[in-house]
Amino acid sequence: MRKGRERAKRDESLTLEPSREAKKKMMKSFKGVSLTTLVSVVVNAWILLLAVARRRSIDPPGPIGDLDVRIHANARIPMDFRRAYMVFYKSPARTIPAAVKLNLRGGFEENDKPIESSKTLKQVRSAQLCDEAWQIQGDGQVEEAVRLLKEALVEDPTNTEAISKLGMIYEYEMEDYKVANMLYQKGLSILPNSSTLLYDYAVFLQERLKDIDGAEEYYRRALNQNPTDPNILNNYAVFLKERRNDTLRADAIFRQSIEVSPNSTSTLCNYATFLESSFGKYDEAEEMYKRALEIEPNDASTLYNFAIFLEEVRGDIDGAENMYRRVLQIEPTDSDALNNLALILQNSRSDYNGAKILFEQALSACPEDLSTVNNLAVLYEDCLNQPEEAEKWYKRALQLGPNDVTTLCNYGGFLNNFGDKNGAEALFDKARSIDTLMANRLIEAQESKEGETDLSPSNATGPRKMIKA
C-alpha cells in the first residue's frame, strides 16, 4: 500500500547572550559611577539585551543536517513552538509519533509590539524561566521543564509563551489532552484575538479532540483576525477537503493562499494533490508539482507526492523511481519512500532481493507500519516462495491491524492456498463484516491472476495525505 505523508516545517529559537568580554567592557565603562546608577544601568542593559534576543530576525539558512526542515526566522518572534517541538521529535534519536506530524505555526501577535524597558522584573524572570525550560525539554528533561514553566507562570500568570509551551508538552510528551486543552483555553482567555492562538487551537481540536465543528469555528476566527495568513489558509483548505469534503470552498481557499504566498511549497504541493484527486486536472496538478520543485528542488514531501503522481497518473516508472531515490538522498530513513521504491523494484524491475532490503529498511525506521508489513508478507509468498516467512509477517500484520480488511483477506488467501479452508473462511467472514464490498473485491481478485495483479496489497494505493502547513 502506498500512502501519502505529512510534513512539518519548523522554526528555531533565537537567543542573544553577551560574551564575557562584553560584560568586562560594560563594567569598565561604568568606572567612577555611583553604585545606584550602576545597578540601574546594568538592569536596564540586561532587559534591553533580552528584548533584542526576543526580537532579532535572521535570513533563512539552508537545510540542516538530516532534518527535512528549512529554518526560517519569522518576523513575529517568539518562535513557532510547535515547529521547534517537531524538530525535537524529528531527531534520529527519537521515535516520531504519527500524531506529531502536524502543521506550521506563526509567531505570537502579542509580541508584535515593541518590548518596553518598563517590563517588571517578574516578567523578565518569567521569560528567562520559559526559555530555560524550552531548552532543557529538548534534552529529555521533561519534568524539570514542566516545573520551570509552572514557576514562570507564578512569576507572570499572563505569560502566553509559557502557557503555550506547557500546553505542547502536555499534548506531545504526556498526551494529556485534557490539561493541554485547559492551557490552550487559558492562553486564549488572555489573548482572545490572537490569530496564532486561535489557529493553534483549531488544529488541536481537529487533530486531537476530533471536534470538527469546533475546529472550523476557530479556523474562521483566526482568519477573521488575519485573513491573509498563508499557513492558516492552507490548513483551512486541507480541513475543508479532508473533513468537510467541500471541494469548492477548499479550491477557493487554496487559490487565495497561493495568491497571498505564491512560493509556499506546502500549499503548491497540497493544491496539486487536490487538483489531481478532486477534479482530475492532471496537467494543472503537474504544473503545481513542478512549480513547487523549482522553488525547493530538495523538498522531500513534494518529491514524494510527485513520484506517486508520475507512477499512477502518467505511468512514468523511471521518473517515479528517480523521485523516490531523490527523497531517500534527503531522508534515508523515510519509510514511505522506502516502501514505495521497494514496490517498484518488486513489480516493475523483478528485483526481489532489492525490494526485500528496502522493505526491511522501511520497517527498521517504522516497525509498526501495516502497509510495509503486508507488502513484505506478499513478497515472501508470491516472489521469494518462502511460505513460513510469509506467514510470520501475515501474523504480524494481523496483530497490528486485526480489523484491517486487506490484511484479513491477504492472510485468508494465504491460508486458502495452503489448504486451511476453515481458517481462510473465518478471516474472509470477518473482513466481510467490516466492509463487504471491499472484502468481496479482494477475495474475488485472489481467484484470478489478473485480479491479483490489480488488487493485491502490494499494488493497492492509499490516498496521499495533505501537507499540514
Question: Could you please report the per-residue DSSP string of 346-379?
Answer: HHTS--HHHHHHHHHHHHHH-TT-HHHHHHHHHI
Alpha helices per DSSP H over 177-229: 177-190, 195-207, 212-225
DSSP 465: P
pLDDT given for residue 467 in this prediction:
60
Higher model confidence: residue 260 or residue 456? Answer: 260
Answer for the pair 83, 104: CB distance below 8 angstroms, yes or no. yes
CA distance 286 to 319: 13
> What average pLDDT does this structure show over 290-318?
97
pLDDT at 17 over 70: no
What Rg value do the Cα atoms of the chain yield, rounded? Answer: 26
Host H or E run for residue 294: helix 282-295
CA distance 343 to 391: 19
Neighbouring CB atoms inside 10 A of 424's CB total 21
One-letter amino acid identity for 398?
A: L
> What average pLDDT does this structure show over 152-170?
94
CA distance 349 to 70: 35
The grid cell for 116 is 518596553
Q: For the chain, what percent of residues have pLDDT higher than 90?
A: 68
CA distance 198 to 168: 15
pLDDT given for residue 90 in this prediction:
41
> What average pLDDT does this structure show over 8-18?
29
Q: How far lies 87's CA from each of 62, 201, 408, in Å?
A: 15, 20, 37
Residue of 11, 240, 218 lying closest to 108 (CA atoms): 11
Neighbouring CB atoms inside 10 A of 39's CB total 12
Alpha helices per DSSP H over 72-120: 81-90
Answer for the pair 460, 450: CB distance below 8 angstroms, yes or no. no
Contacting residues for 26 by C-beta, under 8 A, at least 6 apart: 18, 42, 45
pLDDT level of residue 44 (50, 70, 90 thresholds): low
Burial of 448 (0-12, 13-18, 19+ CB in 10 A): exposed
pLDDT level of residue 287 (50, 70, 90 thresholds): very high
Burial of 128 (0-12, 13-18, 19+ CB in 10 A): middle
pLDDT given for residue 468 in this prediction:
55
Q: What CATH number does the domain located at 369-469 have?
A: 1.25.40.10
Domain assignments of the chain as residue spans, ordered by start: 369-469
pLDDT at 322 over 80: yes
pLDDT in tens, 445-468: 887 654 444 444 444 444 354 565
HSE-up of 372 (CA within 13 Å, CB side)?
24
Q: Is the peptide bond before 387 cis (omega within 30 degrees of 0)?
A: no
Q: Sign (positive/negative) of CA torsion 304, 4, 234, 109?
A: negative
pLDDT in tens, 383-410: 999 999 999 999 999 999 999 999 999 9
pLDDT given for residue 98 in this prediction:
30
pLDDT given for residue 457 in this prediction:
43
CA distance 87 to 27: 39
User: Hey, is 70 helix, strand or coil?
Assistant: strand
Higher model confidence: residue 380 or residue 459? Answer: 380
Residues forming beta bridges with residue 250, ordered by sequence position: none
pLDDT at 191 over 60: yes
pLDDT given for residue 286 in this prediction:
98
The grid cell for 26 is 560594560
HSE-up of 341 (CA within 13 Å, CB side)?
27
CA distance 107 to 124: 19
Answer for the pair 350, 374: CB distance below 8 angstroms, yes or no. no
Q: How far lies 35's CA from each of 23, 39, 41, 46, in Å?
A: 17, 6, 10, 17
pLDDT in tens, 82-130: 444 444 444 433 333 333 222 333 333 344 444 445 679 999 999 999 9
Contacting residues for 17 by C-beta, under 8 A, at least 6 apart: 53
pLDDT in tens, 130-143: 999 999 998 889 99
Residue of 1, 163, 10 lying closest to 73 (CA atoms): 10
CA distance 136 to 145: 6
In the chain, how long is the greatest CA-to-CA distance?
98
